[in-house]
Amino acid sequence: MHKYQTLEAWKRAHAAVLLTLRSTDSAYHPRARAVFDQLRRAVVSVEANIVEGYALGTVPLCRRHLRIALGSAAEAECLIRTAGELGYLPEQVTSDVEVLLGNTMRTLHGLLRSSPIIRRRSSSE
């Protein structure tokens, strides 16, 4: 197991990615394409930037990527709300994703307020 997988922010972001990708796949409609494409990119960016920041191994680079992840989470939250209001996704899905993203953003804010603990990558990673 990679050590970034122990981070609460990553766990929440990963859950949001899985739910969003599965939901947008099953609800695909041509008129929803632009919103879904941007939503999918934003939510994947949250998880990817948490992992990238952790992997780079320095506090400044980690903090930079956590800020990018926070911005992407806010973008995804806006887009999931839009998708719900337009009827592209069921209300339960949009609500669940919004909760996951809100929890992710709170966790990211906490990491940014404190000094992220950057551990040297072990040979097992």
What does the mean pLDDT of the chain come to? 90
CATH of the domain spanning 3-113: 1.20.1440.60
In this prediction, residue 117 carries a pLDDT of 57
Q: Is the pLDDT confidence value at 1 over 70? A: no
Q: Residue 3 — very low, low, confident or very high, per pLDDT cuts 50/70/90? A: confident
The residues, any chain, with a CB within 8 Å of residue 10's CB and separated by 6 or more, are: 4, 47, 50, 51, 54
Domain ranges of the chain: 3-113
Q: Is the pTM of this model over 0.85?
A: yes
Coil, strand or helix at 66: helix
Tens-digit pLDDT profile for residues 86-95: 999 999 999 9
